[in-house]
């Protein structure tokens, strides 16, 4: 653990995250009859997406996986309002059932942008799954089809999420407590 770990308050510990992901995988498997393409929105979702993909396998699915990197934050802790494609999909989504996986649904701009983009490219169905939903800050109309947890009104780190490229490695979701 980093030297600053004692300054991070745990919100969702690893065991609660793991249990919730198993439930989500079961819910997703129950709604998916077609082969599924999981698209992880990088960078923050990579840990969540990896655990979810393995849980989907345990739930009886064999999803294909691709990645896209979108950013409305860059180095800030607040959305800029504009979404940039930093890395696009390699997979043709035309006619596919796609599950977009993101770390946090906050302003909604990134997930709405991704959903509109994948839909415009001809996906047969686009579903969304987020680790955290911070609904109070929504700037666009979008709701996740699947969510693990509601997020308190604090800036969160860990489990793939960072601030200034730090704390992604933490096995829990927490927030930095400034002393």
Contact predicate 130/117, CB 8 Å:
no
CATH code, 5-176 = 3.40.50.2020
Residues sharing a CB contact under 8 Å with residue 126, sequence separation 6 or more, in sequence order: 98, 100, 115, 118, 119
Predicted local confidence at residue 88, as pLDDT: 95
Two structure tokens written together for 132? 């955290």
Contact predicate 159/127, CB 8 Å:
no
Sequence ranges of the domains in the chain: 5-176
pTM of the model: 0.91
Confidence of residue 4 (pLDDT cuts 50, 70, 90): very low
**Model confidence over 120-162: pLDDT tens digits?**
999 999 999 999 999 887 899 999 999 999 999 999 999 999 9
CA distances from 151 to 83, 130, 148, 165, 171 (A): 22, 11, 10, 20, 17
């Amino acid at each position: 653990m980093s030297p600053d770990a004692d300054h991070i308050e745990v919100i969702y510990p690893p065991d609660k995250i793991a249990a919730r992901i198993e439930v989500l995988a079961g819910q997703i498997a129950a709604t998916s009859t077609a082969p599924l393409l999981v698209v992880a929105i990088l960078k923050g979702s990579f840990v969540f997406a990896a655990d979810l993909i393995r849980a989907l396998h345990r739930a009886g699915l064999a999803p294909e996986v691709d990645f896209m990197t979108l950013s409305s934050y860059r180095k800030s802790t607040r959305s800029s309002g504009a979404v940039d494609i930093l890395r696009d999909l390699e997979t043709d989504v035309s006619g596919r059932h796609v599950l977009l996986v993101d770390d946090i649904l906050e302003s909604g701009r990134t997930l709405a942008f991704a959903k509109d983009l994948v839909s415009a490219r001809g996906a047969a169905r686009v579903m969304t799954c987020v680790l955290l939903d911070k609904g109070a800050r929504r700037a666009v109309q979008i709701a996740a089809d699947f969510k693990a947890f509601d997020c308190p009104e604090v800036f969160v780190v860990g489990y793939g999420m960072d601030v200034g490229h730090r704390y992604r490695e933490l096995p829990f979701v927490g927030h930095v407590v400034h002393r």
